Structure 1
């Protein structure tokens, strides 16, 4: 049974870096080497991101085991990631893993996973293979300088309001206030209350936060037209695919977009849309992609000229990894292994 090989994005993602995982390997985990061959011209990937008709073996001193103990994994860098990203739209890649010597070997299909970024997306990156192994890049945390404590300014005490003094004449007897003074007595408290209300209203108004800018729910023109034929024809392939995937069309709608891409010879767009959503777990898209390569369902087109049993089996296996009881995927996967 062929090995299952995936090239997955790191967590956190790092441009030009990926995690190469291998399942169903029956050999040892030390002193291994692998070659990668593309289907379009049967050329092999070389060191230095070149292609040649002679096999080149990337050596890995030791693969690590994941937590399950069933998957081998190692880190790959730009020498592997960049060429596969550049050619993944129009090519399929076969990987052969073997024990150095040579010894036991096995083959499978490898495809770049969703979210992988080329090294050009993040400037300079280190070489992939330094004695067959590359440590995961670790970004040093920036030091935050300690700021001196600022003395808090103590509010100056407000001058106490002078207490009103009332002079009492010792010579003149106190006379009852006239009726007019009685009316003025209740006016002053009323004016005081009114002044307090005005002051409170002014304070509330000054402290009132700015009203938030209303957010319109209407889609922007870029989002509304992210998956149109016009955008497909006017934008770079990768830019269009990223924008269209971000718009998150439903599976049926995405299949229509893929059909539109195929009919207009945008083969790279069709394959990238297929692969991205299929690897993300969209089983309807994964099944349709498998049918493009399955000899049983294959319909020749400019984008999918010939069937490819290994690639079809890869996508049926992807479906089974999400839905083990999928009858059609299980039946076709077993049939393609014969």
Structure 2
């Protein structure tokens, strides 16, 4: 039976970092390695975010049990996260996990989870592993340079000689002239004038009608939420910006399916993929079922965005439904048939 692999955001979320969780693995927990292959050209992910036609194995010294004891997990960094997030709309990724001794091996589909961020979202983010070994390195203690011995300082008790000639030739000190006392009457008069002017300005300010306040949302057009998921916005905004604003608007499942169908018709395949995956992974069974059918050979209607069936991906989303609703008869039936 294929393993189920999820790439989940950390809590709190860290750009370029994620938890790789594996369910249904029957092998050892130690000395494992995995490879990732994309479907569009059959290339394998290499170290340093490159792709090649030769398999590359990311080594993991040990997987840890999750808190609920139902899966194994390890932390991965930008070398894995960034290439998967940069994949095209139709990219699917197959992962093969095996023991380094070439013993037990199994395969499954791996998909980036909700909220994952590339390392570029947080500036310079250091990977948690060096090379292809997915283990956290220990930071070496900084070396403190030795301070060279300084020569001893000798304090001299000899007073410096003072040249009497220069002292005697300095000009005699002349005190400054005493200040001339002025009458305070002019100052008091000026203060009274300033107070009268301030009182008049205050009376004018509080009597005049208040200026109309500038609304903080003046730059945001009315009905912005209603426009977040429209076809016009889809055609005018960058893909990721549209997806983020549409998700924030939180349309119901039926409305979201309409938007996804519009994206498919307009060949906005990345939008359709992202909206499907985001809501399906968030636990929306209706969206997850529709997404599974895009790959299920029983229901597939080939389109530019979903040109061919993919049993493993369809099974992945049916299984996602079953994690939320174990009694979903249709999802269970299709999942079992796709495993054959």
Scaled by the length of structure 2, the TM-score of the pair is: 0.74
Work out the CA distance in 2 between the residues paired with 1:274 and 1:65: 29
Shift of 1:326: 0.1
Shift of 1:229: 1.6
Q: State the partner residue of 2:47.
A: 47
Q: State the partner residue of 2:58.
A: 58
Indicate the SS of the match to 1:107.
strand
1:192-249 CA-partner distances (Å, limit 9, x unpaired): xxxxxxxxxxxxxxxxxxxx99999x98454231111222122221111111101100
The 1:251–1:76 alpha-carbon spacing in structure 2 relative to 1, beyond 3 Å, is same
Corresponding position: 1:311 with 2:313: yes
Q: State the partner residue of 1:223.
A: 225
1:236-292 CA-partner distances (Å, limit 9, x unpaired): 211111111011001000000000000011001101100000000000000000000
8 Å contact kept, 2:32–2:99: yes
Indicate the SS of the match to 1:87.
coil
Q: State the partner residue of 2:38.
A: 38
Give ranges in structure 2 of 5+ residues lacking alignment: 138-212
Indicate the SS of the match to 1:116.
coil
**Mean Cα displacement is larger for which, 51-60 or 126-135?**
126-135
1:1-338 equivalence runs, <5 A: 1-87=1-87, 89-130=89-130, 131-134=133-136, 220-338=222-340
Work out the CA distance in 1 between the residues paired with 2:91 and 2:10: 23
Shift of 1:60: 0.6
Q: Tell me the C-alpha RMSD between the 2 structures.
A: 2.2
Work out the CA distance in 1 between the residues paired with 2:63 and 2:95: 16
Work out the CA distance in 1 between the residues paired with 2:127 and 2:54: 22
Indicate the SS of the match to 1:35.
strand
**Mean Cα displacement is larger for which, 75-84 or 223-232?**
223-232
Indicate the SS of the match to 1:270.
helix
Scaled by the length of structure 1, the TM-score of the pair is: 0.74
Work out the CA distance in 2 between the residues paired with 1:289 and 1:37: 21
The 1:82–1:220 alpha-carbon spacing in structure 2 relative to 1, beyond 3 Å, is farther
8 Å contact kept, 1:79–1:128: no
Shift of 1:134: 3.2
Indicate the SS of the match to 1:74.
strand
Work out the CA distance in 1 between the residues paired with 2:82 and 2:215: 43
Matched length: 264
8 Å contact kept, 2:76–2:134: no
Shift of 1:66: 1.2
Shift of 1:129: 2.4
**Mean Cα displacement is larger for which, 246-255 or 122-131?**
122-131
8 Å contact kept, 2:81–2:118: yes
Work out the CA distance in 2 between the residues paired with 1:26 and 1:232: 45
Shift of 1:69: 2.0
Give ranges in structure 1 of 5+ residues lacking alignment: 136-211
**Mean Cα displacement is larger for which, 17-26 or 84-93?**
84-93
Runs of 4+ with deviation above 4 angstroms: 212-216, 218-221
8 Å contact kept, 2:90–2:306: no
8 Å contact kept, 1:287–1:319: yes
The 1:2–1:225 alpha-carbon spacing in structure 2 relative to 1, beyond 3 Å, is same
Shift of 1:88: 5.7
